[in-house]
A = this chain, B = another copy of it.
């Protein structure tokens, strides 16, 4: 269990118990959607409001403390901001996991082809995980 007080402050977010718990849930679950987060939060704060969850998620997104990952055919999940990486999504168990892939060659090709200045890359690979095969 990590203490996220300083991490929050670095992103200009006051360290309230609710925010620390959200940070903790994201650290533990890696990728989590709003519903699952709300369920977890209810165990620690029996009268927490969904509005509080949404307000904090939105602030944390604005301050880049967390990131949204849009999943094909499913709800978005959220994760603590870390170094750039891609995602794997199992279409059977819906687990999302990180994967570190070398995309530089692809990005170079994209720049060359398109006259586009690429600043962000979102790669999601869907399929079936080892467990579900």
A interface, CB within 8 angstroms of B:
68, 70-72, 86, 88, 90-91, 97, 99-103, 105-107, 109-110, 113-130, 133
- Stoichiometry, as copies per complex, reads 2
- Asked whether A115 and B101 contact (CB < 8 A) given A72-B70, A72-B122, A125-B121, the answer is no
Q: Which residues of B contact A118 (CB under 8 A)?
A: 88, 125-127
A28 to chain B, nearest CB (A): 21
Q: Is the CB of A88 within 8 A of B105?
A: no
Residues of B within 8 A of A116 (CB): 88, 90, 125, 127-130
* A128 contacts across to B, CB distance below 8 A: 116-117, 119
> Contact at A117–B133, with CB atoms within 8 Å?
yes
User: With a CB–CB cut-off of 8 A, which chain B residues contact A126?
Assistant: 118-122
